[in-house]
Structure 1
Amino acid sequence: MTAVTAVTAPTTVAPRPSGVLHDSVSVFVRELRPMLRDPFSLVFSLMQPLMFLALYGPLLGGMTGLPIAQAFQWFVPGIVVMVALFGTAMTGSNLLYEIQSGAHERVLVSPVSRPALMIGRACKEMVPLVLQSLVISGIAALFGFRPSVPGMVVGLALLAVFGMGLGALSYALGIVSRERDWMFWTVQQGLLFPLMLLSGMLLPLESGPGWMQVLARFNPLTYMVDAERALFDGAFGDAAVWQGGLAAAVVAAVGLAVGIRAMRNSI
């Protein structure tokens, strides 16, 4: 009698969806979950901009002699840029903690493209930026602040592009500082406040000394602040808008290039 051997067809395993876009979405969702589980961190991060809005805004109005509504019309777009600046500049500290705890190494051995690790993280930072900006604008509206809604939408999109590049640079700094965490805070704080003060975010630079105005021209944040003020006023034809768009694109391109390179070499 001849034995018949049954041949089992090999099981076909569906390939894992791959690609930078798919992996970026996966990283974005992974990074967003801690914030959704702990929304109080988002509320706490609003304290600083709200303090500026409550204390510095009326003071600025008293200095310029403008009604509080007009003072907020000039001041609030700068505060929105401040939220983007401080929020995205701090993102590298989260990555630095993951590197020191070993979590980053486990992510690196996963089948995820290296560019997606940077792009997904940077895109996640845009969620709190938009939410905080809406809250600040809503509170300022109680005191007469009246932004152009289409201009505000375009302005937040512009800030998202800028913040993506700045966040990527912060991640790159975190990777470089993985063995000397003090270096991250030294460089970050050493750059953060000069960029803020030389942008005209808090006070008009026109009344400052000439050397300060010259330095401000080399500060990409200056063009972002001017663009946000024009857009929040609905002045789409203002030259500050395209200048701010160009500054945001340059920062995003440079930041992502540097960040992706640092992520690829982070093993």
Structure 2
Amino acid sequence: MTAVDRRETDPAASVRTAGGLSGMLRDTGTVFARQMRPVPHRPFMIVFGMLQPLLYLVLFAPLLTGLAGAEGENPWQWFVPGLFVMLSLFTAGFAGFGLLPEMASGAYERMLATPASRVALLLGWVLRDLVIVLAQMLLILVLVLPFGFRTTAPGALAGFALLAVLGVGLATLSYLAAMIAKHTYVFAPIIQTVMMPLMLLSGVLLPMELAPGWLYALSRFNPVAHVVDAARVLFGGGVWDGTVLLGWVMAVGMTLVALVVGARSMRRLNT
């Protein structure tokens, strides 16, 4: 087996030949800094992604008051954690849209021509989107506190950590879809087709306990639904029970699979 073959089949070998783990981390930081540079000058990048979730928050959450399955809670307490998951779905899940103009302009090919690790390119893009989605969540948290939403500092930190893991996985898959699709008219329907069932079957809008038995059973196969359940427990200040552990297992498992597939694809799709 040649050195080239080893780099393509062994991720560790690729890291070593590119200067080791420290080199990949350095490249990731460089790509991340480049991607973050325009963000402070384009605040609409953060605000625009919040518009649809905010509309749900203002126009939909009040309808949940006293709804069975929400256990008669303050609707903000039940809906806001699900809204954070919705932000991950929209912001991280649609992250690949930002890569399409770079592919069309040739900037993407120029980045591939640099000596930077291709895995570092992917990680740098994903980290930029992670910062944006966490900033959006923090802004919404500040907005809902005056309306009666209550959480604890440890619960909020644990909840944001869980959703950060989910966001990394979603953004990675979104970039992979963009690299395969290459065009907006191909990428958009693919993402819509995947994201809508994930959102509707996750229980972010309505309690899945209200659904028919077959639909509730189907939702149990949706990893995002378990993340939503875990987020509600964490942001509500609940204990780390089986619901939380299952949510973490689903988020970490999905993200690890996405990163492994992403790392291999970055080496193979664009050689």
TM-score (norm 1): 0.88
Unaligned runs of 5+ residues in structure 2 are: 1-18
**What is the CA distance between 1:40 and its match in structure 2?**
2.4
Instruction: Give the letter aligned to residue 31 of structure 2.
Output: V
Which residue does the alignment assign to 1:162? 166
Alpha carbons 2:69, 2:207 under 8 Å: kept: no
Task: Give structure 1 stretches of 5+ with no counterpart.
Answer: 1-15
The corresponding residue for 1:12 is none
Residue in 1 aligned with 2:145?
A: 141
Question: Structure 1 residue 240 and structure 2 residue 249: aligned?
Answer: no
Taking only aligned residues, the RMSD between alpha carbons, in angstroms, comes to 2.0
Corresponding residue of 2:27: 23
User: Which one of the candidate residues 79, 90, 93 is aligned to 1:75?
Assistant: 79
Q: Using the TM superposition, give the Cα deviation of residue 176 of structure 1 relative to its aligned residue in structure 2, in angstroms.
A: 0.4
2:123 is matched by which residue type in structure 1? I
Cα offset, 1:68, TM superposition: 9.4
Taking structure 2 as the reference length, what is the TM-score of the superposition?
0.87
The answer as to whether partners of 1:88 and 1:125 remain within 8 angstroms in 2 is yes
Q: Does 1:192 align with 2:195?
A: yes
Deviation per residue, 1:218-249 (Å, 9 max, x gap) = 11100110110010011132211111111111
Q: 1:29 to 1:69 in 2, by over 3 A?
A: farther
Structure 1 residues 182 and 65, CA gap change in structure 2 (3 angstroms)? closer
Matched length: 251
Distance in 1 (CA, whole Å) between partners of 2:270 and 2:77 is 44
| In structure 1, C-alpha distance between the alignment counterparts of 2:57 and 2:66, rounded to whole Å | 14
Distance 1:137 1:68, change over 3 A: farther
* Equivalent AA in structure 1 for residue 210 of structure 2: S
Larger proportion of helix: 2
CA distance in 1, matches of 2:30, 2:50: 27
Seq. identity, %: 44
Alignment-derived partner of residue 8 in structure 1: none
Quick one: distance in 2 between partners of 1:23 and 1:216? 39
| 1:223 aligned residue | 226
Mapped contact 1:175–1:262 kept (Cα < 8 A): no
Q: Which has the larger radius of gyration?
A: 1
Q: Distance in 1 between matches of 2:189 and 2:70?
A: 38
Cα distance in structure 2, aligned partners of 1:107 and 1:73: 44
Which whole-Å CA distance do the structure 2 matches of 1:58 and 1:199 have between them? Answer: 19
Give runs of aligned pairs for residues 1-267 of structure 1, distance below 5 A: 19-61=23-65, 63=67, 70-178=74-182, 180-264=183-267, 265-267=269-271
